[in-house]
Homo-oligomer: A and B are copies of this chain.
């Protein structure tokens, strides 16, 4: 898929409008058949609200595209060839990313290396060795440009390729002392990605939201040092929810910077004390199919409301909804890759031979709990047989 300039402008206007986040965006575009149509429908949809929602104007979106262009950045939409597939496979992937640098490095297998801003000397040394070694293995190192572990990971991977994900806009590098690092990442063929608008000064809650992109770009996330309740653990949690690997570097129980990583290991993350520990897990995944959709367990997923002020238009009464857009140009029709529902996926995976439920869940990329619920429905509908040992088959 390639967006026309007009479509790209519509996508940017829609995602920049008040109350629109990745989920609302997806819902509106799928419902109205395109971003342009959704923009036309939006005022009607929002009529029921006390305060009208603020829709980004064409001029505003054009100004942002121009500002990005001045920095050599461009907007890449989900579904376009330069949009990273592992990110696209995640729930709540940003519909548009603003990309500086070489999109080629986004096509290579990547691993995230994240950790404390106030890392120990040992932690920084290990970060450097690890990132260098994994870079030499052909992995792109993804991180968040923060002080400490992040910056060291980027620097160690300049030769082999590294991607920084910003919490703010491209013209608001944080911390500002890392503007030079951004320049070096770009010079060396790496890339820098922002989801937030040009001019956006990153605030506290932008960082956790940004972290889902770091983990989402990567086959796995390695947490080098992390205190309890630190941002790196949020990245690890996103990785888990996205069905990606989580690695944690162990440390002394007396070091508070190791509390988070030791906890992760106790919770099942792979202990990483050497690059081989990462490669042993990731090698089999490289060159394989795109990682799963991360529909792992919707119940455990952090509420998107924590990260976006999204308006839930699906709750709006039908009477308040706008008429379907009168004219729809073919050009405008660019629905997002349709998400098949889990029930359909299960039915497609099932056949006459009994398969264990956990294998089914794994193949469907859906949690066992969700699968069990759906299987109960399917059984009541007379669609499936239950077999001893917990296996099921199509009836």
Contacts and interface: CB of A to CB of B under 8 A. Distances in A.
12 contacts: A123-B252, A125-B254, A249-B252, A250-B251, A250-B252, A250-B258, A250-B262, A252-B252, A262-B273, A266-B271, A266-B273, A389-B389
A379 interface: no
Interface centre among A125, A253, A277, A388 (most CB of B within 10 A): A253
Contact of A265 (B122, B125, B126, B271): B271
A201 interface: no
Contacts of A272: 253
Given A388-B389, A389-B388, A389-B389, A253 B266 contact: no
Interface in A94-145: 122-123, 125-126
A253 B123 CA distance: 9
Contacts of A389: 388-389
Contacts of A277: 266
Interface of A: 122-123, 125-126, 249-255, 258-259, 262, 265-266, 270-274, 277, 388-389
A153 to B, nearest CB: 15
A271 B277 CA distance: 17
Given A265-B265, A265-B271, A273-B262, A254 B122 contact: yes
Contacts of A254: 122, 125-126
Nearest to A387: B388
Contacts of A252: 122-123, 126, 249-252, 258
Nearest to A264: B271
B249 A273 contact: no
Contacts of A262: 250, 271, 273
B250 A265 contact: yes
Closest 10 CB pairs of A and B: A250-B250, A253-B273, A262-B273, A122-B254, A122-B252, A389-B389, A266-B271, A265-B271, A251-B252, A126-B253
A353 to B, nearest CB: 15
